[in-house]
């Protein structure tokens, strides 16, 4: 994959959320309104606070989905990220 986001945008690989609890209860899609997490794959040249490889938290509807090399990623602005997990 050869993709470079422009400006303050991030290319993020979304982490899949658990669909069942530890005890085996299935969680329906409408109960998953918590913010999502993902790993930053690439950053634009104006991004200041986030680095490639960081795990970030972002809102469920943040960013736009794109497909690169048959894999789905999100492109979002740096301001769409709510925080960095350490």
Segment 9-19, tens digit of pLDDT = 999 999 876 66
The pLDDT tens digits of the residues spanning 40-55 come to: 999 999 999 999 999 9
DSSP designation for 62: -
Classify domain 9-16+27-85 at the CATH superfamily level: GroES chaperonin (2.30.33.40)
Q: In angstroms, rounded to a whole number, what is the distance separating the alpha carbons of residues 83 and 78?
A: 10
Q: Using CA atoms, how far apart are residues 25 and 47, in angstroms rounded to an integer?
A: 40
Average pLDDT, the chain: 87
Domain boundaries, the chain: 9-16+27-85
Instruction: Quote the pTM value.
Output: 0.80
């Amino acid at each position: 994959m050869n993709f470079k986001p422009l400006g303050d945008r991030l290319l993020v690989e979304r982490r899949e959320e658990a669909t069942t609890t530890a005890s085996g209860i299935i969680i329906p899609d409408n109960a998953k309104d918590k913010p999502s997490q993902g790993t930053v794959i690439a950053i634009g040249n104006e991004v200041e606070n986030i680095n490639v490889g960081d795990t970030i938290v972002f809102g469920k509807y943040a960013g736009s989905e794109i497909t690169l090399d048959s894999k789905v990623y999100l492109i979002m602005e740096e301001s769409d990220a709510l925080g960095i997990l350490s």
